[in-house]
Amino acid sequence: MIEIVEFTNMCMIQDKNKVLVIDRKAKDWPGITFPGGHVDPGEPFTDAVIREIREETGLYISSPQLCGIKDWTEDNVRYVVLFYKTDTFDGMLQSSDEGDVWWEEIDNLSNLKLSPDMVDMLRVFTEDNLSEFFYRFDGEKWAYDLK
């Protein structure tokens, strides 16, 4: 059974007790989150996250590990965000037009102006028994389940 899908990705890059965050300038989904971006049609998913992290942060990551999925369906399109994490990277940190990037203490994330659902996305990145952040429209508003 086929469906129409838009794939994107996000990556939690960890260096000891810090993670790399981006203050995304996009007006439709502002706030501090993890870097990432789109997947080209047919592009290997792993290549896509390596490419996007390079473009947004200047860093070259290796062995990104798939750790979860965020998804929702709207107007017959399923939007799929692949979550990756890695602690292996090389290169010089460099912000892009997408937004400023910097290393932040994990324990301090909750004190920042995070993007709307970042606190619960972080749970999917970090808790082994969670693999999915699923948005559903309950008839009046969007709600989500962590699975």
- Residue 129 binding a copy of itself, by CB under 8 A: yes
On whether the CB atoms of residues 112 and 21 are closer than 8 A, the answer is yes
- Residue 93 binding a copy of itself, by CB under 8 A: no
**DSSP strand pairing (77-86 vs 65-74):** antiparallel
How many residues bind a copy of itself (CB under 8 A)? The answer is: 37
As a whole number of angstroms, the distance between CA 105 and CA 69 comes to 24
- Residue 38 binding a copy of itself, by CB under 8 A: yes
- Residue 37 binding a copy of itself, by CB under 8 A: no
Quote the least distance from Cβ 112 to a copy of itself, whole Å: 27
Among 128, 139, 140, 141, binds a copy of itself (CB under 8 A): 128
On whether the CB atoms of residues 84 and 12 are closer than 8 A, the answer is yes
